[in-house]
Structure 1
Amino acid sequence: MSATDIARLAGVGRAAVSNWRRRHPDFPQPVGGTPISPVFALPEVETWLRDQGKLRELPVEEWAWQQLRAEAGDDLQLGGVLAAAGDALVKEHAGETIPGPSAAPSAALSPGSGAAEAVADLAAEWGASPAFEFLLGRYWEAQGRRASATPPDVAAVMAALAGDAATVLDPACGTGELLVAAAENGAARRLLGQDADSGTTALATVRLALRHDDAAIRTGDSLRADGFPDVLADAVLCDPPFHVRTWGHEELTADPRWEYGLPPRLEPELAWVQHALAHVAPGGRAVVLMPAVVAGRRSGRRIRAQLLRTGALRAVIALSAAQHVWVLQRPEGGTPATLLMIDDADQETIVSTWETYRNDPEHDEPGVSRAVPIIDLLDEDVDLTPAPHLSATGSERTAERFLETHDRLATLLERLGGLLPAVRPSADQEGSPSVLVAELARIGYLAIHQAPLRRDQEEVTGDGQPLLTAEDVIEGRPASARATPADGRWIATRAGDIVIAAAAHRFAARVVEGDGALLGPQLTLLRVDPERLDPYFLAGVLGSSANARTSTVQTTGTTGRVDIRRARMPRLPIEEQRRYGVAFRRMAEFESALRSTVALGEEMARLLADGTADGTLVPAPGEVPVHWPSI
């Protein structure tokens, strides 16, 4: 088990485990891993935590995961042990006594072992499929950079674009993310998958056997040894291993799948696209996740052109600057005159735009999507990157928005001077005695709370309660993220709390104005007794250069950790603190107004450029030329 696993076991942060290792000579020694990421023996850790009184009652899911990891011994064997555990679940689920689907050959899980019993207990409480999904999620987390899976939101978009396909094939299925999404989002009755890695196919076999009646997963390289040579599916979903450059270019030169041209040796992406099309029934669709660079590489322009000319390529969707989705269709009948291009990552927008385009081949939503005439794309480059081909956003309100922004900026500039705090040099240059924040916490003037570690935040989702991030605190803006709290580790902020964040060369302490936001990663919270400490005074003093230096511990090039206990504040009566607090509060309002001024200025500059380009703005009469300073 890793240090993160120990932290979960004890219900603490990972930093606490590091402290235990330094402070306690009897803490268990690593049994493997690396100096940076050591692993420990579960029985030894349990014994030590129990002796120290730090072992808590674990939820059934955490216990099952720890037992599985202990059974595996190291993370390289973890996939096989998980497949064997899933194999047992499939047998029990189906009431079989015959061997299960296809656990990794080297895997073994004794029926009476602690891991087998823990997984069985989890399945009894959660159900077999949800139990396996949880353990598979933890498996991916443990693999880190060694492996990757298609993100659930991307898989859902691709499955939705495939439509209601009865038979779905994924020729590079991994652990089955796209096939699961097809079963959940469509009407798929038959699921077929293949992958070159026997470990992932074992996991995919279990995963699909627990949730679907008709699924077949095979092991092998789909390009070199097609496991379904005669299958024509209603839909092919694929997130191929594009990083593999030895895909078989030399031995597959004369392959009949290269209907649109021989894929260049360094463009395996175009080999996978044509493999997917070769398995699509007439009228069926192939949805392939592609690196964005494939849309414009010169080496692939002839194949891209042929895909356009034949009508095989129907849409290119830019999910990000790095990832595109290509929607392809086996040509039948006439050739379409346009290609749909979308530059948006929102699933609902993508799917609704695709449906609209099917009934409106001249679709155009400026800045978001457009049906681009294919003839316009067949130039020397055949660049299929969506953004350059979209219509510009509407200009009908540019002039109106420019005037609105102008008025708001003028009002804000008038207000700025009145926000400056009224302070003057002190006659007493010696200053007041100071006290450590740690001492204030000890005597009960304030309480210090730390947010959960980033790696412990599996609960973070796209909905739920507002979640403050370190960037929110540094930029002085409202909570920009959201999370669904799953346990008592989460801290809800209250009005008057002080939240503190650190990043590279930046440090900020802000007073919370309203209740309800959750304390996000890498944040520290101080909850003060308002009868003894003024929060605005304390937040202002904590932001001093001296306190920023003593309280910030740099952890990477871009992030820092706050140890606010080392900060100091002057010892002043509460009445005096409140006078300073007014000045700090006005300064915070000034900073906020200044940021708004900059944002409005940038918006005005953009609107001026847009209005000049489209002819909706002209200089006022008598405008005097400005002599720009040299740079």
Structure 2
Amino acid sequence: MGQDATLNAGDIARLADVGRAAVSNWRRRYDDFPQPVGGTAASPLFSLPEIEDWLRRNGKSYEMSLGDRAWQALKTAGDDLRLGELVGCAGAFLLYLAREPAAARRAARAADPAAVLRRDAARATADLPVRPDWSLVGAGRYALLADLAAEQGPAAAFELLCERYAEAHSRQLSVTRPDIVALLAGLARLEGQGGTVLDPACGVGALLLPLAGARLLGQESGEAAALVAAARLLLGGARAEIAAGDSLRADGFPGRRADIVLCDPPFNERAWGYEELTGDPRWEYGLPPRGEPELAWVQHCLAHVRPGGLVAILMPSAAAGRRPGKRIRGNLLRAGALRAVVALGPGGPDLWLLRRPEPGARQPSTMLVAEAGDEPSGVLDAWRAFGAAPEAEPPGGRAVRIIDLLDDEIDLTPARYRPRHPKEDPARAYAAARERFQAAAAALGGSPPRLAARAGDLPTTTVGELVRAGLVGFHQGPARPAAGHGDLPMLTVADVVAGGPPSGRTRHDPGQVVLEPGDVVATASATECAARTVTEGGAVLGPQLHLYRVDPERLDPDFLAGHLRYAGTAGTGRAHPGASRVDARRVRIPRLPLAEQRAHGRAFRELLELDDRLRETSALGRKLVGLGFDGLAGGHLRPDG
């Protein structure tokens, strides 16, 4: 690595296997911590050699994997604005390496690899949508990429680079949520294996990647993203054809029709080509209004699917009811093209499922309306059941008569069409909720702790001083859970806030902190403030959590937990007003004898238990009110007495 290699705070945290908060703490606590060499005040960059030297001098263990070294070398080969091109060029080289390994390895170690690659790699990478600029990556870095591919394989090596790229450009890249990617892949598989799948706004290929068994077509307006998508898919062994260019203005697949079209289009793009595309033949269901570009994408997708083929497109929630688009929504319904609208969560997006009408086919009379809630995977069951019996009530959704939708508004918002027949008896559900609420309310009758006035100020210390004195050991949760699924219980922020048992699951990973009875766990975020004493051990500490392991003969854990919770809610533990994280080192703790600490700890614990009961009662009350409103307004319940 050269002296030009740089790291951001997240990279340093990964290198040292700590959380980002630890890196921020090091910058504040240590005068000799390296100064930024670039970046911005909000996202500074540090010299990799300087960081490595500082970690060694301060006894901080670290290990930079070959993957991270390759990423840092690639990232520093050009400015941040060209990072996508650099990643795409790396993908093109790894594709060449996968197809012609001996030639690519020789090129990687040549004195001028760019010249060799320009001469020799064109044939092996001819199916890429964009010719890579081989001079971008630079000498030495191709050799690192070759070493990484030898260690992990070319496809896995490029996926690692794509993951780092998504992390580095999380605000610039629009990446579809993983659960929605899985849902769309499941819908595509329900249509049958094989065939052709098109994504006309494919980004870096996320929607197409799980469908490598099909013939894949994709188009993306950005050349760098198109190059990344093509390299990912081809390295994964897919039969893929990716075009670069704006699908609406410069269709890369004119006249071609796929069996399935998946699409997560850009939302709210006003400059989508309204003026030049006014007379476009794709607008079979009406000219999309200038402010409704998503309806242009819907019709573009329908124009590229075979009769009877499926279109699954993500839409902003407002598109289901905005007045300018009602004419096109009505025409889609009348033609039998729009088959389902599914809300995928509060704030969107919605999923629209459409089929291109088959000539002479019977006109459908119903459309599926559903709300996925927290489990988008449940949409598959509803869609499967609706396809088998379009007139019946599918699980988790409602088959609404199309004639009932064609009113003055043509509002297809799923919340307006909740199932007429609830899964459980509404009277029984309301009675059970009422009983639980009354029991919880009765439990509030327990007496809160009695507190008396105290005269004078107490001497105090800080948590940082307690740590240095050896009364408290401090541990930090990982930046993210260990990759992959596992059955090891993990305490999460939500568990600490709610006072529940560990609900997370992870796999074993070196460096995990195992909870012990008497440990104090607190949230690191100032927006989710909670601190509790652990009563049962065995689980591991999750992300965004801090653990304080106290010497119980000198410090009461409930006493410490109470002050940590107060510091978070009152803001006294923040580094500065408005900070999003609590700096626990600054939290002040009164100096009290152990007996008094324990008395304070009992009072803190009783107040926390009361707070939990209040929260539970409030949640039960909200559920009771919701069931009552749903039942009365929906006609399922009536006043009784």
Moved more, 390-399 or 200-209: 390-399
- 2:530–2:568: 8 Å Cα contact kept in structure 1? no
Are 2:133 and 1:106 aligned? yes
Which of residues 497, 502, 505 in structure 1 aligns to 2:519?
497
Alpha-carbon spacing, 1:326–1:487, altered in 2? closer, same or farther (3 Å):
same
Specify the alignment match of 1:370 in structure 2: 398
Out of 90-99 and 320-329, give the one that drifted further.
90-99
Say whether 1:538 aligns with 2:566. no
Q: Percent identity?
A: 47
One-letter amino acid of the structure 1 residue matched with residue 379 of structure 2: I
**Partner residue of 2:295?**
270
| C-alpha deviation, 1:433, in angstroms | 5.6
1:551 aligns with 2:584: no
Instruction: State the alpha-carbon separation in 2 of the partners of residues 50 and 540 from structure 1.
Output: 37
Mean Cα deviation higher: 117-126 or 48-57 = 48-57
Q: Write the distance in 1 (CA, Å) between the matches of 2:59 and 2:524.
A: 33
Runs of 5+ in structure 1 lacking a partner?
Answer: 621-631
Identify the residue that residue 560 of structure 1 maps to in structure 2.
581
Match of 1:130 among 114, 132, 156: 156
Task: Pick closer, same or farther for the CA change 1:76–1:50 going to 2, 3 Å.
Answer: farther
Of residues 611, 618, 622, the one that matches 1:598 is: 618
Q: CA deviation at 1:117?
A: 2.9
Measured at CA, do residues 361 and 381 of structure 1 come closer, stay the same or move farther in structure 2, by a change above 3 Å?
Answer: same
Report Cα offsets for 1:300-339 as digits up to 9, x if no partner. Answer: 1111111111111111111123201111111111111111
Q: For 1:583 and 1:52, how far apart are their aligned partners in 2? A: 41
CA deviation after TM superposition for structure 1 residue 178, in Å: 1.3
Query: For residues 47 and 541 of structure 2, what CA distance do their matches in structure 1 show?
Result: 33
Where 2:379 maps in the other structure, the secondary structure is helix
Measure the CA separation in 2 of the matches of 1:254 and 1:319: 34
**1:215–1:600 distance in 2 versus 1, CA, 3 Å:** closer
Structure 1: distance between partners of 2:50 and 2:284? 60
122 and 527 in structure 1: CA distance in 2 versus 1, 3 angstrom threshold: same
1:20-63 per-position Cα deviation (integer Å, ceiling 9, x unaligned):
55666765554432232222343454455556555733223222
Partner of residue 537 from structure 2, selected from 507, 515, 518: 515
Deviates further, 34-43 or 83-92: 34-43
Q: Distance in 1 between matches of 2:603 and 2:57?
A: 52
C-alpha displacement of 1:157: 1.3
Matching of residue 143 in structure 1 with residue 165 in structure 2: no
Q: Is the 8 A contact 1:504 1:554 kept in 2?
A: no
2:9 aligns with 3
- Aligned twin of 1:76: 81
Partner of 2:230, secondary structure, is helix
SS of the residue corresponding to residue 120 of structure 1 reads: helix
> What is the CA RMSD across the aligned residues, in angstroms?
3.2
Cα distance in 2, alignment partners of residues 390 and 228 from structure 1: 39
Change (3 A) 1:16 1:472: closer
Asked if 1:339 corresponds to 2:367, the answer is yes
Distance 2:293 2:587 in 1: 55
Tell me how far apart the structure 1 counterparts of residues 354 and 564 of structure 2 sit (CA, whole Å).
58
Q: Deviations over 1:141-163 (max 9, x none)?
A: 11131221222221221222232
User: Structure 2 matches for 1:383-532, cutoff 5 A?
Assistant: 383-392=411-420, 394=422, 397-421=425-449, 423=450, 425=452, 429=455, 434-452=460-478, 456-457=479-480, 459=482, 465-479=488-502, 482-484=504-506, 487-501=509-523, 507-532=529-554
Give 3-state SS (helix, strand or coil) of 1:293's partner: helix
Q: Is the 8 A contact 2:18 2:476 kept in 1?
A: no
Match of 1:629 in 2: none
CA distance in 2, matches of 1:59, 1:14: 18
- With structure 2 as the length reference, what TM-score do the two structures score? 0.85
Equivalences for residues 76-475 of structure 1 within 5 A: 76-95=81-100, 97=103, 98-99=121-122, 100-101=124-125, 102=128, 105-108=132-135, 113=140, 115-162=141-188, 163-164=191-192, 165-183=194-212, 187-188=213-214, 190-320=215-345, 321-332=347-358, 333-345=361-373, 346-365=375-394, 368-392=396-420, 394=422, 397-421=425-449, 423=450, 425=452, 429=455, 434-452=460-478, 456-457=479-480, 459=482, 465-475=488-498
Distance 1:568 1:158, change over 3 A: same
Do 2:458 and 2:590's aligned partners in 1 also have CA atoms closer than 8 Å? no
Question: 1:297–1:284: structure 2 CA closer, same or farther, 3 Å change rule?
Answer: same
Distance change >3 Å, CA 245–CA 598, structure 1 → 2: closer
Matched AA of 1:330: R
C-alpha distance 523-127 of structure 1, shift in aligned 2 (>3 A): same
Counterpart contact for 1:553–1:563, Cα < 8 Å: no
Which whole-Å CA distance do the structure 2 matches of 1:130 and 1:256 have between them?
Answer: 42
The SS at the match of 1:417 is: coil
Alignment partner, residue 40 of structure 1: 46
Deviations 1:204-238 (A, max 9, x none): 11111111242111111111221111311111111
Cα deviation digits, residues 423-452 of structure 1 (max 9, x gap) = 4647x8458765544443334333122333
SS of match in other structure, 2:532: strand
Matched-pair contact (CA < 8 Å) for 1:498–1:527: yes
- Give 1:539 shift: 2.5
- Alpha-carbon distance in structure 1 between the residues aligned to 2:523 and 2:328: 51
Q: Which moved more, 1:280-289 or 1:487-496?
A: 487-496
Q: Does the 8 Å CA contact 1:171/1:195 hold for their aligned counterparts?
A: yes
Quick one: which amino acid aligns to residue 138 of structure 1? R
Alignment map for 1:8-23 (pairs within 5 Å) = 8-18=14-24, 21=27
Aligned residue type for 1:560: R
Please state whether the residue corresponding to 2:169 is helix, strand or coil. Answer: helix
Instruction: Report the equivalent of 1:628.
Output: none
Contact 1:75 1:143 in 2 (8 A): no
Q: Which deviates more from structure 2 when the two are superposed, residues 379-388 or residues 27-36?
A: 27-36
Q: Which range is displaced more, 160-169 or 368-377?
A: 160-169
What is the Cα deviation at residue 295 of structure 1? 0.9
Question: Contact 1:547–1:568 (CA<8 Å) still a contact in 2?
Answer: no
Amino acid at match of 1:356: A
Distance apart, 1:545 and its partner CA: 6.8
Residue identity in the other structure for 2:207: L
Deviations 1:40-94 (A, max 9, x none): 3434544555565557332232222222223x23322222222222222211211
**Greater CA deviation, 460-469 or 130-139?**
460-469
Structure 1 stretches of 4+ moved >6 Å: 23-26, 460-463
* TM-score when normalising by structure 1: 0.86
Report if the CA contact (8 A) 1:30-1:41 is conserved. Answer: yes
